[in-house]
Structure 1
Amino acid sequence: MKLCYQVATPDVAISPSVTAFQGCTSYTFGRLGELGYDGVELMTLNPRLLNWDIIKREAEKNKLDIVMVCTGEIYGQEKLSFMDKNLEIRAYARSRVKEIIDFASYLGAYINIGRVRGQYCEELPKEVSYGYAIDAFKDISEYAGKKGVKIALESVTIMQTNFINTVEEAIKVVDDVDNEYFKIMMDIFHLNIEERDIIATIKKYSKYNIHVHLADNNRRYPGHCGLDFEKILRTFKETGYSGAFCTEIFQIPDQETAAINAIKHLNVIRDKINE
């Protein structure tokens, strides 16, 4: 069971709202390695501004696997998406995601698709917006396949987007894209809000899933509030999932406390499950 923590690369603007460990790469990777994490997931905005060799070297130095590169800040900081009504913006969003695919390929990681997919708007019929998204997903999947990079589509709560809120909706999109490199990921925070039964959902759609985000039901570190992470992680293991579990949480009360308490809680569970 690989336990990972989300890290913001230096190109991402430092903000209290960022759900990732922040700082220079030598510090973030070094500290998370000291705490006993197995890997990291990178929150990245613009790979062209990064030294790829340094990032890879720091990960290896601290015995951390880089498991995924997130695309969310392309939308979060620049409002680019695949469903924008403006053709140039849609095309630019694709090109920026392809740059992240190149980065992920160099690191041997997956990428995810969260908010950059976009959402429905009043100015366009839903079928038109949906078509824009599917065309983009097919395009980036073909590109990713040539680079050996898998893409994980994330279902996101209605409070953040009106497109692909449930895992069932994500599966329909995956089936419509029909590319072996385009799968889903499960974010427990979003599942807790949108799914009737988290455990049943994990079991039902396990064959599509290639990555997992962990957060308690208040989006703080696992163990802070009410979710039964032992039951959740045990279910993933029983379904045959062998990928990474990565915390994506608000850094509350601060990132040091959040990272320490997350690994403390999850390590106890990992030991129980591996008995």
Structure 2
Amino acid sequence: MKLGIHAYAWCSQWTNDTLDLIDRVKGLGLDFIEIPLMTLDTFDAAAVKARLDAVGLEAVTSTVLLGDTDITSGDAAIRAKGLQYLKDCVDATHAIGATSFSGVVYSQHVKAAKSRPTEEEWAWAAEALREAARYAQRVGVTIGLEPVNRYESYLVNTCEQALRLKEMIGEPNIRVHLDTYHMNIEEKSFYEATKRAGEDLIHYHLCENDRGIPGTGLVDWDGIFRALGELKYDGYAALESFVDVTDNMNTWVWRQLAPNGDALVREGVAFIKGKMAQYGLE
């Protein structure tokens, strides 16, 4: 299993001023950094790739769709803009030498929905992602669907729903990205949901139930790592704990969840590496 960390453990927005995080992640002995693509207009892919290559570190990317890029919108122009944004994210991912792009890429994050999604909305999501997936295949990029909790999405909340959407899309480079923070609300069992993802699992966010330091809360880490061990999972897994709020997506960090980003990372990495060793995932 490849162990990494999301850049938002230290910063609230990715810019060239945060390139030093690549060196910091490498210094921690981690395998990769997860870079958010929320602000593509200022994303300097050449600078990111140069720094990754210089220190010898892998990267994955992620994002969430917002109101003006919602591929389940009733407005065709917004759906088209959302599709183009997904393609631009694929291009950015490829440009930094990465092959994994995932997140809330199927509908607006924190959409003000008043009813359950319609079959037409499911179809709109599948249609756009099918085209995005075919576009991504040309450059060897895989797209991961990340289920999030009911307060952040009305469409995909569970692994089972992500697999349903994957089947509707019907492209081989669509996979599943699980997140323990959301699973703590929506899944009946961390173990069963992880096993259900199976070979479709491409990325895993390792978060405590309060987004704080892994191992200090309620998440069933033994169930998760038992499943990952049985799957012989060799994909990406990142700590995703936030230390601040940001104006480019909702993180809801209203109190201090760790003394600082370094403490969160140091203690969280030590805990996760211990579980990896315990369940044969080193």
> What TM-score bracket applies, with the shorter chain setting the length?
0.7 to 0.9
1:82 equivalent in alignment to 2:71: yes
**SS of 1:158's equivalent?**
coil
1:172 equivalent in alignment to 2:168: no
1:239 Cα deviation after fit = 1.0
Q: Counterpart amino acid of 2:35?
A: L
**SS of 2:138's equivalent?**
helix
Q: Counterpart amino acid of 1:135?
A: E
1:124 Cα deviation after fit = 10
- List gaps (5 residues or longer) in structure 2: 244-256
**Residue matched to 2:264:** 258
1:204 Cα deviation after fit = 2.5
User: Comparing 248-257 with 33-42, which one deviates more in the overlay?
Assistant: 248-257
* Among 264, 272, 278, the residue aligned to 1:272: 278
Write out per-residue CA displacement over residues 120-157 of structure 1, whole angstroms, 9 at most, x where no aligned residue.
Answer: 84599712222211111111111111121101011111
**Residue matched to 1:246:** 238
**Residue matched to 1:11:** none
1:7 Cα deviation after fit = 1.5
User: Comparing 48-57 with 172-181, which one deviates more in the overlay?
Assistant: 48-57
Aligned-residue sequence identity (percent) comes to: 22
1:59 Cα deviation after fit = 1.7
CA distance in 2, matches of 1:125, 1:169: 12
**Residue matched to 2:56:** 63
1:23 Cα deviation after fit = 7.8
Give the TM-score taking structure 2 as reference length: 0.84
1:203 equivalent in alignment to 2:192: no
CA 1:177/1:219 → structure 2, altered by over 3 Å: closer, same or farther?
same
CA 1:125/1:246 → structure 2, altered by over 3 Å: closer, same or farther?
closer
Give the TM-score taking structure 1 as reference length: 0.86
Q: How does 1:118-267 map to 2 (within 5 A)?
A: 118=108, 121-122=113-114, 126-251=118-243, 252-253=257-258, 254-267=260-273
**Residue matched to 1:3:** 3
CA distance in 2, matches of 1:153, 1:115: 7
Q: Counterpart amino acid of 1:85?
A: G
**Residue matched to 2:92:** 103
- How many residues end up aligned between the 2 structures? 262
CA 1:86/1:257 → structure 2, altered by over 3 Å: closer, same or farther?
same
Answer whether contact 1:120 1:126 (CA < 8 A) is retained. Answer: no
CA 1:123/1:3 → structure 2, altered by over 3 Å: closer, same or farther?
closer
CA 1:229/1:31 → structure 2, altered by over 3 Å: closer, same or farther?
same
CA RMSD of the aligned region, Å?
Answer: 2.5
